[in-house]
A and B are shown apart, each in its own frame.
Chain A
């Protein structure tokens, strides 16, 4: 019997990076096949190829469905072939009703006039079949995240999906919602739907899957029947790689405690009952680099945002800076207390792309550099120039527009912006994401230099080698909770990954 799906020798290159290198993957009818790997191992890229987001011609290798070679030009063609993908970020229109969403773009209609009775009848039928207690006329925005996820699945099935890809479907769900989801997935299995399940949560993977495929650095490490594996084996397959030597070994001397956080909670914005940061306490000393590891959605950025006074949802907990209790409600409070925050996603949160290096660099520390009310162009120019040169920003002038710089140089501008606020504590969120190796090394050197100068550094990174290579101590988060703490000498990729997947 042919497998439902086969992907053979799939290769995908981005400029300068080989994201997938000869990946082989197959899926049987009614099978629950888990796809695991570190952040950046190539799971999402593989699924984007399968679902037609990367059209044929942009990748190497072939896709075979039911023994037939298929070439998808776009998502629609993949959908027509029975492939449905459910992304982490839901792609539902919140203002439309459940039914409208399920049939979006395929409304039963005649000459462009929608047959509403038919639309609601069909979707009600479909929801009933899945035993979903959801009113088809409810706007999706009124549903909880868990139910929205189920609507998304109903939508996929309404398109007669035979292959269902679920990318971290439980990331935003509570435990009961996860149970409901799993029940439905089991039902789908009996109907012969093949499921590819991407998850960082190994307990879920072991509870649900028939087989597990591990990807690492764009290559298939292996596909095994779930009963032949255990947590340790999966983790060692995931991380089995040497930590490179691009990390300068430096000894940091620690001073007194710079920042201490006690019992910090932060609540999800969309799902106010869910804690994205759950009772976290930690401290960091002057001169120390504290790494925070964890998988996507573990609450790492949220933790930093909450301490920094930038989290939109509810938070609670206590923050002490140099032993004194402080109340930080806004980023401005944080800056006044000597906290700097190199945020993730520099284009969205870090830079004003159409402004110059100069204007970007002096933005956060404007009042320190210039004055309370008036700006002082010369002083700003001198400060920004000095920062740009010491960080080796490559640009012809500090009046170069930030949006025209390369990723690495943009990141240096964001770093420079925060150094100009003269912080005592510096948060770094994914400081090297999407930048080339040369710029990475320069940023690593800078981090070490700053620690030597006595800054307390808290660094979130999804790159395990980076966390292991730079940190003096590592905290690991899993689903908002602290699941591990390791000193530099204790930390191994396996231990960190085990804690990050919630496996003790």
Chain B
């Protein structure tokens, strides 16, 4: 009789997901250093970093939602058009109809959520492939924008609305937020250690807890310092960070998140394990809608107007961010952290190449090549499975 080894809760092997994350951070650092060198020190200036984060925020928010859609084995090609439509709705309410700030914001989000729900129902209950439903959405909702705006750009005069996209958090408030963040990191680290001890899964060693918390705390301090050295944390960036955290929490700590991975990984097994695949797919599309609505507000406020072609190709940026971040379009695999890093890599390329005055056509060629190369490296490293 073989001796049965006691199963541990953690093996020695480095998890492939964390390995991938390290590789991506390494790639990002290389890209940054390269641009910094090439731009003669402009790229990593406080001003440009602030700008870079601002540019990341809209794509980043969309990427968080897209990641969850992709993990569930679906795709949403309509987010660019829905972003444009939701922004258009808010602009029409504010400028043409003279409504206040709150109705404009709520309407934009409500429109986007309603569209997400509608797409989700078509996908889940009528079994129309998500690719088709949202490709139709991409065309149809773009038409809707042109309809409501009569194909003209609607300017926004409301200063409060514009501040969503254009203002910065005062430096003192930035530091207060940093303090709250650090307190939260410590609280969560201690709580995790305590539950693990309670369940006999590890010894709550004080030095280890502090060591583990050091990295996120350092990141918070550096981030706030850099942002404050220019003008403070841009409001869109703050919103993006909150959404990224919520996305991280949903995918890692909720039953809904786990079900998305299960449905994308093996929908038959998920169904037979008692998961209501259809309801969860509708939910994830609705969530994508909500995030698109928020992204639309930021986008519209930043530009200060709603144009009929706002958000064109945004869906592809979001999908590219997820894929660069290690998500599989077959479903079942991907992380919010990876998608956010992917979004940051994409906007770093945009930003750096613009600073270098790389011509438009070359920018597109390079971005396309990098997207395919990133996946090729990923597939090469994966071998089987």
Contacts and interface: CB of A to CB of B under 8 A. Distances in A.
Interface of A: 308, 310, 330-332, 334-335, 341, 343, 348-355, 359, 363-364, 366-367, 370-375, 377-379, 381-382, 385, 388-389, 392-401, 403-404, 417, 421
Contacts of A393: 7
Given A332-B275, A332-B276, A378-B201, 10 more contacts: A330-B276, A331-B271, A341-B272, A359-B261, A363-B275, A372-B255, A382-B201, A385-B7, A397-B13, A399-B9
A192 to B, nearest CB: 45
A343 B265 contact: no
B96 interface: no
Given A330-B274, A332-B276, A355 B199 contact: no
Q: Which 10 A-B pairs have the closest CB atoms?
A: A397-B11, A352-B265, A364-B273, A332-B274, A378-B199, A335-B274, A331-B274, A352-B266, A378-B195, A363-B273
Contacts of B254: 373-375
B7 A395 contact: yes
Interface string B192-234: 0001101111000000000000000000000000000000000
Given A353-B385, A354-B385, A373-B256, A398 B7 contact: yes
Interface string B1-22: 0101111111111010000000
A355 B268 CA distance: 15
Contacts of B6: 389
Interface string B248-270: 00001111111101100110111
B337 to A, nearest CB: 17
B11 A363 contact: no
B283 interface: no
B333 interface: yes
Interface string B274-288: 111000000000000
B282 to A, nearest CB: 15
Interface in B362-385: 385
Contacts of B262: 352, 355, 359, 363
Contacts of A392: 4
B60 interface: no
Contact of A381 (B9, B13, B265, B332): B9
Interface residues of B, number: 42
Contacts of B385: 353-354, 401, 403-404
A349 to B, nearest CB: 5
Interface of B: 2, 4-13, 15, 195-196, 198-201, 252-259, 261-262, 265-266, 268-276, 332-333, 385
Nearest to A336: B274
Given A394-B5, A396-B5, A355 B261 contact: yes
Contact of B199 (A334, A373, A382): A382
A352 B199 CA distance: 26
A379 B199 contact: yes
A367 B276 CA distance: 13
A310 to B, nearest CB: 6
Given A373-B255, A381-B201, A401-B385, A417 B276 contact: no
Contacts of B200: 382
A45 B11 CA distance: 40
A366 B280 CA distance: 15
Contacts of B275: 331-332, 363
Given A355-B265, A397-B11, A400-B11, A378 B272 contact: no
Contacts of A377: 253
B273 A397 contact: no
A367 B266 CA distance: 19
Given A332-B275, A343-B272, A382-B199, A375 B7 contact: no
Given A341-B272, A351-B266, A367 B255 contact: yes
Nearest to B6: A389
Contacts of B273: 331, 363-364, 417
Nearest to A372: B255
B256 A310 contact: no
A381 B197 CA distance: 12
24 contacts: A310-B271, A330-B276, A331-B274, A332-B274, A332-B275, A341-B272, A351-B266, A353-B385, A355-B265, A363-B258, A363-B270, A377-B253, A378-B201, A381-B9, A381-B199, A381-B201, A385-B7, A396-B5, A396-B13, A397-B11, A398-B7, A399-B11, A399-B15, A421-B274
A374 B4 contact: no
A360 B34 CA distance: 43
Contacts of A349: 268-269, 272
Given A335-B274, A370-B255, A375-B255, A396 B8 contact: yes
A230 to B, nearest CB: 42
A417 B199 CA distance: 20
Nearest to A351: B269
A343 B4 CA distance: 26
Nearest to A398: B7
A398 B6 CA distance: 10
A397 B9 contact: yes
A359 B276 CA distance: 17
A266 B15 CA distance: 45
Nearest to A397: B11
Nearest to B384: A403
A355 B333 CA distance: 9
Nearest to B194: A378
Contacts of B265: 352-355
Contact of A364 (B10, B15, B274): B274
Contact of A394 (B4, B252, B253): B4
Given A352-B269, A352-B332, A392-B4, A375 B258 contact: yes
A310 B272 contact: yes
Contacts of B199: 378-379, 381-382
A90 B331 CA distance: 29
Contacts of B255: 366-367, 370-375
B258 A359 contact: yes
A435 B13 CA distance: 27
Nearest to B255: A366
Contacts of B7: 385, 388-389, 393, 395-398
Contacts of A348: 266, 268-269
